[in-house]
Homo-oligomer: A and B are copies of this chain.
Amino acid sequence: MSPTHTRVTTPPADLDPCGREEHPDCGIRDVLDRIGDKWSVLVIVELARGPRRFRELQRAVDGISQRMLTLTVRRLERDGLVLRTVYPTVPAQVDYRLTDTGAGITHLVKALADWSLAHRAAIAEARHAYDLAHPGHDIR
């Protein structure tokens, strides 16, 4: 039959913009603002393999500009995920390593990567089908 229930949800979404009850909306924004950018995760992944110097990181991440690497590691340092150590040699030498907190995030990253690999094919297929069904409809 047809849906007879008129009111559907319409909860008081005004109060408490964060997560009332138990759903985790708000916390999520926090993480995503931190690792959702273009490079942070890749840097974390590389650092998860061991301490790295600046140039090593730049070579490993492949494609990152000097400016973005600087910004990325600085933000990670600011959030306490990465420890930055400067050796007053000449020329300068700086190494980066994950803090304990930063190391903990690698588990999440791993889970993300696993899920992605597991569903990559399905997603690609869905996209292909969508694009066939909606020619000229550009939403990218």
Contacts of A37 in B (CB 8 A): 36
Measured between C-beta atoms, what is the minimum distance from A88 to chain B in Å? 12
Give Cα A80–Cα B60 distance, bound, in whole angstroms: 32
**Bitwise interface map of A from 77 to 118 toward B, beta carbon under 8 Å scored 1, else 0:** 111110000000000000000000100110011111111110
- Partner of A108 from B56, B115, B123 at Cβ < 8 Å: B115
B101 and A123 contact, CB distance less than 8 A: yes
B78 and A9 contact, CB distance less than 8 A: no
Give Cα A101–Cα B78 distance, bound, in whole angstroms: 35
Give Cα A110–Cα B59 distance, bound, in whole angstroms: 33
B79 and A30 contact, CB distance less than 8 A: no
> Residue A135 at the B interface, CB < 8 A?
no
- Partner of A115 from B29, B80, B105, B127 at Cβ < 8 Å: B105
User: Chain B: which residue is nearest A73 at the CB level?
Assistant: B139
Give Cα A109–Cα B24 distance, bound, in whole angstroms: 9
A30 and B120 contact, CB distance less than 8 A: yes
Measured between C-beta atoms, what is the minimum distance from A40 to chain B in Å? 9
A62 and B24 contact, CB distance less than 8 A: no
> Residue A10 at the B interface, CB < 8 A?
yes
B139 and A28 contact, CB distance less than 8 A: no
With A25-B46, A108-B111 known, 4 other A-B pairs at CB within 8 A are A8-B56, A9-B50, A78-B130, A101-B122
